[in-house]
Amino acid sequence: MSSFKKNAYTYATIVAMGGFVFGLDAALISGTTNYLTDEFSLNKLELGIAVGAPAWGVLLALIFVGYAVDKIGRKRALQISALIYLISAFGSALAPNYWVFFWARFLGGLAFSSISMASMYIGEIAPPKLRGKLVTMIQVNIVVGLSAAYFMNYFIQNLASSGADWVSSLGIDTNTWRWMLGSEILFALLWFTLLSFIPRSPAWLMLKGRIEDAKKTLRKVIPENRITTQVSEMEENMNAGGSDHSIWTQLKEIFSPPMRITFIIAMTLAIVQQSTGINAILFYAPTVFEQLGMGTNAAFAQAIWIGLISVVFTFLGLMAVDKIGRRPMIIGGMLWIVISLGICFYGFKTASYSLKQEHITELTELSDSNRLSKLVGIAFDSDIEFKKAITESLGEEDSKAFADSLLKQAVSINGLLVLIGILSFVAAFQSTLGPVMWVLFSEIFPISNRGIAIPFFTLVTSLTSSLVQTFFPWQLENLGISSTLLFYASTVAIGLVILFKYLKETKNMTIEEVQLALAARK
């Protein structure tokens, strides 16, 4: 491998590590939901708000990140994000009450904007033939981080119930959720340290008129005989957007008629990627598996399968993106996602829920459990009907405490079919739509407005994600899991139709060539 490729891989690997920290931060919360509910006496909506707090934080960050990456540069902005992750991890693990916890998680969401900055930076230092692979490394790191979070949660959960003296002395058994969230601290610190070794983005240096500095960076990642041509193309691309690079001018350019097709592609991807429900599945993985009738420990173990599938198929996507191309991976992946969600919908839709007398007898913690006797032997067609009947029999307070436990005992479902559907869905997302969206975001915007365009559409993605995360517990409670999954599948199907019409192949093109290709369709 040439020194240019080695440098490009090294810088991309360091920057993409932010995806690992993001994955940790995003998924560690999945193991703490029951603990948080008990610790802070939360209802379903409050739990959703706590889990979704980072997604709301990133909405605020993305309003300013476009200004930041153009003002102080991609490198400095990434370093600030790493520092914010570190502070947030400490705050979340040590939070004494719900609101301190919420604001610590919200603060961590400010750092989630690093994903858009990472794709921007890597897209600007990567050679065209490696751009897809290098940008996809962000998604690889995200899923490795997600998987690591599931393993850590499972490991700490088992430690907490081991009864070992040293576990008690460290408080792992009494502060289990704090240890889960605190495991992020070391990795955030490591990323913050490594970011000092990457160079400034050549595109940002060009925007600042520092042409010689831009050439120095380019010499590290492309051959000498390509530098003059690359600088000329970058200058031409910047000049195409005019000399005014203010935020308002860049925003107007995004909405201008010449960028109509680019806008449609980016907006559709931004909404559909999170409307798949991927974060609901990943962040609430144990909760979803408990819907299959599994106990808590089994649900944690099954969540690890999601992590493993994510890693394997993201690596496959990494290998394929520069060979198969962006369009077939997006179109094929979305079709795969719709089919997978359809399988899950069918599995949950055909489930039934029926209490037996032994289920009631086992509830020794419930006072006057005979209140449930009238439900014995009655088959309910949905989790919503079953939970409603439980509430009518026990009242709001006892129902809140025991409904989930009763549901796990009463459910009769084709668990294997649903498990296959969920794992197929995760495989489809992580190998196609998940990583390839970021590849396209790094390619389809001109240098003149990419500092604002990428954060803007990431803002749309984050808003969609925050809505999905916040309302998922509410949807489970009020719509049922089958209807929720059908909603996700329908949204993806609509996006599939739009992208089938407008999305164009961009592999092996320079950023400048992509602009010409998109313009040719307008």
Tens-digit pLDDT profile for residues 165-179: 888 888 888 888 899
Residue 522 has pLDDT above 50, yes or no: no
Q: Is residue 218 part of a domain?
A: no
What does the pLDDT average to over 470-488?
Answer: 82
Q: Is residue 234 part of a domain?
A: no
Query: CA 406, CA 384: separation in Å to the nearest integer?
Result: 13
401 with 507, same domain: the answer is no
Domain count, the chain: 2
Cβ–Cβ < 8 Å for 434, 314: yes
325 with 439, same domain: the answer is yes
What does the pLDDT average to over 441-464?
Answer: 80
374 with 498, same domain: the answer is no
Count H helices and E strands in the chain, helices first.
27, 2
Q: Is residue 226 part of a domain?
A: no
Give 376's strand partners.
Answer: 355
Q: In which element (H, E) is residue 232 found?
A: helix 224-240
Distances (CA, A) of 21 to 81, 111, 151, 185, 412: 11, 10, 15, 9, 38
Give 411's strand partners.
Answer: 353
Residue that is last in its domain, among 391, 412, 433: 412
CATH number, residue 169: 1.20.1250.20
| pLDDT score, position 302 | 63
165 with 106, same domain: the answer is yes
| pLDDT score, position 286 | 58
Residue 479 has pLDDT above 90, yes or no: no
Q: Is residue 117 part of a domain?
A: yes
What does residue 127 show for φ and ψ, rounded to 5 degrees? -60, 145
Residue 239 has pLDDT above 70, yes or no: no
| pLDDT score, position 295 | 55
312 with 364, same domain: the answer is no
pLDDT tens per residue across span 117-136: 888 898 888 887 787 788 88
Residue 386: domain span: 352-412
Residue 240 has pLDDT above 70, yes or no: no
Assign 411 to helix, strand or coil.
Answer: strand
Rg from Cα positions in the chain: 24
Q: Enter the DSSP assignment of 366.
A: S
390 with 420, same domain: the answer is no
Residue 521 has pLDDT above 60, yes or no: no
What does the pLDDT average to over 496-510?
Answer: 87
How many angstroms separate the first and last alpha carbons of the chain? Answer: 40
93 pLDDT tier (thresholds 50, 70, 90)? very high
Q: Which residue has the higher pLDDT, 142 or 293?
A: 142
Q: Is residue 262 part of a domain?
A: yes
274 with 402, same domain: the answer is no
376 with 325, same domain: the answer is no
286 with 397, same domain: the answer is no
190 with 319, same domain: the answer is yes
Residue 499 has pLDDT above 50, yes or no: yes
460 with 399, same domain: the answer is no
Q: Is residue 243 part of a domain?
A: no
40 with 95, same domain: the answer is yes
Q: Is residue 124 part of a domain?
A: yes
Q: Is residue 239 part of a domain?
A: no
